């Protein structure tokens, strides 16, 4: 091709090339700011986080605000309104992680209203990552948190009174799934949910990712039991280069596969958030498909483009999304 022919051709194809580039660019453009969270209870949580994100605040502040919002809700299974352990004591787990891999967590903390904020203080004020039990409570009190009443919420008190009659102080295992309603990671025999976990991930205007998780954990657990929620790499993982993931459901099964770290590693390998979550779910189910029919695990993930997705073992996992484009609840796909 001579130079003249090349120039003529370039003139003809330039607009085409430009528009192709524009399309490629828009596919690369980041969907930000954005916040996603587990369950339909994530809608008000996202709204609280959005107040920070829409003012160009940080993802870290946004996820903390979202978690605080649900911890304030005494009627929710997260926070001090949650169901107690088998000794009748509410113990709370929470963690937070930012775009620089800074992280903090508390596990088994009692009578503190905002474990997520204690987790943030652990991250910002100590050289440690996790504080547990009495030590976590002592640290909270030293840092200005107040000791709340040990009384159970009315709902939790009634549920515990029923449970102790039937279950004779036996730790919960093999919780059967009896219904497909949303908002229920695991189920008691009468179909009521046994706990809920709030996990949320945000990306701010600067493209930074952060995540937070807060929960009262599995109801009627053995006193001292810690689930996946406060464990970095299990209940939450953030890698600001590739993405972030959080989980809900039976924590022991998530811990066994370092669930959210695995999801993020799959995103690093190039899988979409949804496929990355699916591959982690497959890893759990592969171990024992029959056992996996008796519990629920759901993963929720976001990559650096602000694309998101989820996958669960069973039907019923839902998640909430808030961005400038949408404010809605999605059904998660499921494996079994
Ligand atoms: N995923 C919450 C827990 O197992 O405690």
Candidate from 43-57, 169-183, 276-290, 303-317 with smallest mean pLDDT? 169-183
Q: Give pLDDT, residue 172.
A: 56
Tell me which of 91, 197, 250, 260 is the catalytic residue: 197
Nearest ligand 1 atom to the CA of 250 is: 4
Q: Is residue 231 part of a domain?
A: yes
Length of the chain counted residue by residue:
336
- Checking if the pLDDT of 180 tops 70, the result is no
Nearest ligand 1 atom to the CA of 221 is: 5
Q: Is residue 71 part of a domain?
A: yes
Q: Is residue 218 part of a domain?
A: yes
Cβ–ligand 1 distance for 248 under 6 Å, the answer yes
Domain count, the chain: 1
Q: Give pLDDT, residue 165.
A: 85
Cβ–ligand 1 distance for 250 under 6 Å, the answer yes
- Contact criterion met (CB below 8 Å) for 97 and 103: yes
Q: Which of 196, 199, 311 has the alpha carbon at shortest distance from 246?
A: 199
Q: Is residue 29 part of a domain?
A: no
User: Which CATH number belongs to the domain containing residue 213 in this structure?
Assistant: 3.60.20.30
Q: Which of 15, 10, 72, 18 has the alpha carbon at shortest distance from 41?
A: 72
What's the CA-to-centroid distance between 197 and ligand 1, angstroms?
7
> 64 pLDDT band (50/70/90 cuts)?
very high
Q: Is residue 273 part of a domain?
A: yes
Nearest ligand 1 atom to the CA of 227 is: 5
Q: Which protein residue's CA is at the shortest distance from atom 4 of ligand 1? A: 251
Looking at the chain, the whole-number percentage of residues with pLDDT higher than 90 is 74
Q: What is the pLDDT of residues 191-227, one digit of tens each?
A: 444 457 999 999 999 999 999 999 999 889 999 999 9
Q: Which of 215, 204, 196 has the alpha carbon at shortest distance from 67?
A: 215
215 is catalytic: no
Q: Is residue 318 part of a domain?
A: yes
Other beta carbons within 10 Å of 33: 27
Give backbone dihedrals phi and psi of 329, rounded to 5 degrees, phi first: -105, 135
Cβ–ligand 1 distance for 309 under 6 Å, the answer no
Looking at the chain, the whole-number percentage of residues with pLDDT higher than 70 is 83
Who has greater pLDDT, 94 or 294? Answer: 94
Who has greater pLDDT, 218 or 265? Answer: 265
Q: Is residue 298 part of a domain?
A: yes
**Domain of 290, in residue numbers:** 50-334
Q: Give pLDDT, residue 184.
A: 37
Cβ–ligand 1 distance for 197 under 6 Å, the answer yes
Strands 308-312 and 333-334: parallel
> 173 pLDDT band (50/70/90 cuts)?
very low
Cβ–ligand 1 distance for 253 under 6 Å, the answer no
Cβ–ligand 1 distance for 104 under 6 Å, the answer no
> 29 pLDDT band (50/70/90 cuts)?
low
**Residues linked to residue 109 through DSSP beta bridges, in sequence order:** 92
């Amino acid at each position: 091709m001579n130079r003249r022919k090349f120039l003529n051709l370039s003139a003809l194809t330039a607009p085409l090339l430009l528009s192709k580039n524009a399309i490629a660019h828009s596919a690369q453009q980041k969907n930000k700011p954005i916040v996603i969270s587990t369950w339909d209870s994530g809608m008000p949580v996202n709204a609280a986080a959005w107040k920070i994100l829409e003012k160009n605040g940080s993802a870290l502040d946004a996820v903390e605000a979202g978690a605080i919002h649900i911890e304030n809700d005494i009627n929710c299974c997260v926070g001090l309104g949650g169901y107690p352990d088998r000794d009748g004591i509410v113990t709370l787990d929470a963690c937070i992680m930012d775009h620089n891999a800074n992280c903090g967590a508390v596990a088994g903390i009692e009578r503190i209203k905002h474990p997520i904020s204690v987790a943030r203080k652990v991250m910002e004020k100590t050289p440690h990552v996790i504080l547990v039990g009495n030590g976590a409570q002592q640290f909270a009190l030293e840092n200005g948190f107040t000791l709340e009443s040990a009384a159970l919420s009315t709902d939790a008190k009634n549920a515990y009174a029923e449970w102790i009659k039937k279950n004779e102080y036996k730790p919960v295992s093999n919780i059967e799934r009896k219904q497909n309603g949303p908002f229920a990671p695991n189920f008691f025999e009468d179909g009521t949910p046994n706990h809920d976990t709030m996990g949320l991930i945000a990306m701010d205007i600067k493209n930074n990712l952060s995540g937070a998780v807060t929960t009262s954990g599995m109801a009627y657990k053995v006193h001292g039991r810690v689930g996946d929620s406060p464990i970095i790499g299990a209940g939450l993982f953030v890698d600001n280069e590739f993405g972030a993931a959080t989980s809900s459901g039976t924590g022991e099964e998530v811990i066994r596969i370092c669930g959210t770290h695995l999801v993020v590693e799959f995103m690093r390998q190039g899988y979409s958030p949804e496929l990355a979550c699916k591959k982690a779910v497959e890893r759990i189910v592969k171990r024992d498909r029959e056992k996996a029919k008796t519990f629920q695990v759901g993963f929720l993930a976001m990559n650096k483009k602000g694309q998101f997705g989820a996958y669960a073992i069973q039907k019923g996992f839902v998640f909430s999304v808030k961005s400038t484009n949408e404010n809605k609840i999605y059904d998660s796909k499921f494996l079994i």
